[in-house]
Amino acid sequence: MKELAQKEISKSVMYRLPRYLMYLKAMPEDSPANISATMLANALNMGEVQVRKDLALVSDGGRPKVGYNRKALIDDIEQFFGYDYTNTAVIVGSGKLGKALLDYVGFAEYGLNVAAAFDVDESIVGTLESGKPILHISQLEQFCRDNKVLIGIITVPAAHAQEVCDLLVNNGIKAIWNFAPTHIDAPADILVQYENMATSLAVLSKHLSAQINGY
């Protein structure tokens, strides 16, 4: 694992590295032990120079004409993101989206343990979803303290997102993954990651429009 100051990694690189990791982990077990930046770039339809520079930022295992040991490169990327250390998260908002996230088992591969969800709907409070509890929002403070929760996932309607954000911050949350379609204000030391489907759809629509209209 290469020692590197976090500030040296741009957001664009941070978004590309998980793509490399996903591809590497999806390769069949009988694939060649080594993979080059050129092979990875061709597989993902990306620029070879860009891929090589990205990998060099997080791994010093590359060798001329040999490339990277695939498993070692996977380990380097996972260590860079901290996937080898499990972070505990909670979901606030146990509607369809919240439950879908609670059901998703793939988070474990990325060092994330979604331990519980919280809601105010008495009809679902006290139930289990994929073996994980849905608790009343009044229990959030105790749960976060007892389980050293650092990540909060917001899946409530936009009108309640800021209130939930404030509640999470007040209970020691250091990073927020916001699925609510609205901006939220958080202290400067709290990382907020927005998951906005409208933005993704806008990019797709623009791309299709450009293709259809020839510009």
CATH number at residue 178: 3.40.50.720
For residue 177, give both structure tokens.
């993954």
| 182 belongs to a structural domain | yes
How many independent structural domains does the chain possess?
2
Sites in the chain below the pLDDT cut of 50: 4-7
| 214 belongs to a structural domain | no
| Residue 190 near residue 173 (C-beta atoms within 8 A) | yes
Q: What is the pTM of this model?
A: 0.77
Instruction: Give the per-residue pLDDT at 151.
Output: 97
Q: Write the pLDDT tens digit of every residue in 173-200.
A: 999 999 999 999 999 999 999 998 777 7
Instruction: Give the per-residue pLDDT at 10.
Output: 84
- Mark residue 100 as left, alpha or beta (left: phi above 0; alpha: psi -120 to 50; beta: remaining): alpha
Strand order in the sheet with 175-178: 128-129, 132-136, 112-119, 87-92, 151-154, 175-178, 191-194
Same domain, yes or no: 30 and 105: no
Residue 48 phi/psi, 5-degree rounding, is: -60, -45
Same domain, yes or no: 64 and 160: no
Instruction: Give the per-residue pLDDT at 140.
Output: 97
Same domain, yes or no: 70 and 93: no
| Residue 163 near residue 188 (C-beta atoms within 8 A) | no
Domain range for 165 is: 87-198
Instruction: Give the per-residue pLDDT at 37.
Output: 94
Same domain, yes or no: 97 and 64: no
